[in-house]
Amino acid sequence: MAWPPTREEFARLRETLAWVYARSPHYRRVLDEAGVRPAALASYDEFRTRVPRTDKTELAVNQRAHPPFGDFLAVPHEQFASLHTSPGPIYIPRLAEERGGTPVLVEAIAAMGVRRGEVVHVTLSYHVMPGGLRLHRAFEEYGCLVINGGTGASRLQVQVARDYGATVYAGTPSFLAHLGAPARGMCLDPRRDLRYRVGFSTAETLTPALRRDLDSTFGIELFDHCGEAQIGPLAGECRAHEGMHLHARDLFCEFLDPETGEPVAPGGIGELVATQLGPRALPLIRYAPRDAFRLLPDACPCGDPSLRLRFVGQVGVIKKIKGVLVHPAQVHAVTSQFPELGRFQVIVSHPEGERYDHAVLRAGVVRPPGDPQGLAQTLGERLRATVLIRMEIELVPEADVPEAAGPPRFAEAMVDRRGTA
Ligand SMILES: [Zn+2]
């Protein structure tokens, strides 16, 4: 879909909303309480400002109160065609026409240059999780031969991938990294004896360093993808590897400023709010998994006009500093380029009488730098180029930075002292 949405996309959204309102007791209650009649919604802006969001935890709480499916349901059980379980556990029944994201995954597989008949090694979990089976089905539908690897048992995984001659890897980048040691332990050369050519990387952040390491170990071209347990696949890289293309065909995706709720423009960071389009056994309207993305400006060199995104991180730890949204994962991407640095904290204050916020990066040092002043200067310059604001750099022993500030949650990485000084 386009962002901001076109008139046709809004019309399809309103049609879905009317369908859901007529069938789902939960959403009828929510929309009645908000005083919204779907057929009377005139514009996307009216939808955005009047239809309440569905919080990620709301569905789980609702299913506990009305087991097993909750009252989000829009169809009677006789119409279910399949059952899907995601962590929680959350129970998602599907209609026969709901393909659970398989059509967009097939397109994403084609964009990686996978050939029909190639052997694919899927290493996502198949146990009480949606990811493994979903990817398995998509690769099969595309015409590949698929190994149901699953997780764990790394020596056996190496053996099976080698014996079948797998040329495509699909799973987390960390599990792929984890296969190098057992391969060497079995006297195999991960580049020569394993023949992985391309990889579908998902469910974890693929950092530039990890991408380089895996390419040098396995000789593999990795394609980053992201999705969400309830709403399925969301975006994936093309061969240009310049951000992930949004491949939402049956999702209406909004990208909103986490503080104001206003739509963000290309170049900005926005929180994803997604509505599933078309009939669903268990529909989700304005579902907010609390994920933030940067929307990339300009067209992709590959020619695909769809919007491109970079995953930034969870919304809760984002702070607006000097008018710019900053997520600790962006700061971490810079600090992790310096082997001398570990955990960090960003202290934001607004000195009285001054016009702008003041940001200090307290960078935890794990080994003494040869030239502390030079390091602080280079760090400051790279930060400014990445997060677009100037920060004062203070090098401190890593022990002075709370452990809870560290990745991947960064719970205490941003300290806001504005309004308290
Ligand atoms: Zn592209």
> pLDDT tens-digit profile of 5-16?
999 999 999 999
Total Cβ atoms within 10 A of residue 175 = 18
101 CA → ligand 1 middle, Å: 20
Q: Which two tokens stand for residue 395?
A: 């090098």
193 HSE (CA, 13 A, CB side): 16
* pLDDT attached to residue 189: 96
* pLDDT attached to residue 310: 92
233 CA → ligand 1 middle, Å: 17
Entry pTM: 0.86
300 CA → ligand 1 middle, Å: 5
The DSSP 8-state label assigned to residue 16 in this structure reads H
303 CA → ligand 1 middle, Å: 6
Of the candidates 94, 295, 311, 276, which has an alpha carbon nearest to the alpha carbon of residue 202?
Answer: 311
310, 225 in Cβ contact below 8 A?
no
**Angle at which helices 173-185 and 154-164 pack, to 10 degrees?**
90
248 CA → ligand 1 middle, Å: 15
**pLDDT below 50 — which residues of the chain?**
421
16 CA → ligand 1 middle, Å: 30
236 CA → ligand 1 middle, Å: 9
* pLDDT attached to residue 420: 62
Total Cβ atoms within 10 A of residue 374 = 10
244 CA → ligand 1 middle, Å: 8
240 CA → ligand 1 middle, Å: 5
343, 403 in Cβ contact below 8 A?
yes
Query: What residue type is assigned to position 322 of the chain?
Result: K
305 CA → ligand 1 middle, Å: 8
253 CA → ligand 1 middle, Å: 19
Cα 246–chain centre separation: 11
DSSP 175-222: HHHHHHHHHHHTT--TTTTS---EEEE-SS---HHHHHHHHHHH--EE
243 CA → ligand 1 middle, Å: 8
224 CA → ligand 1 middle, Å: 12
299 CA → ligand 1 middle, Å: 8
402 CA → ligand 1 middle, Å: 40
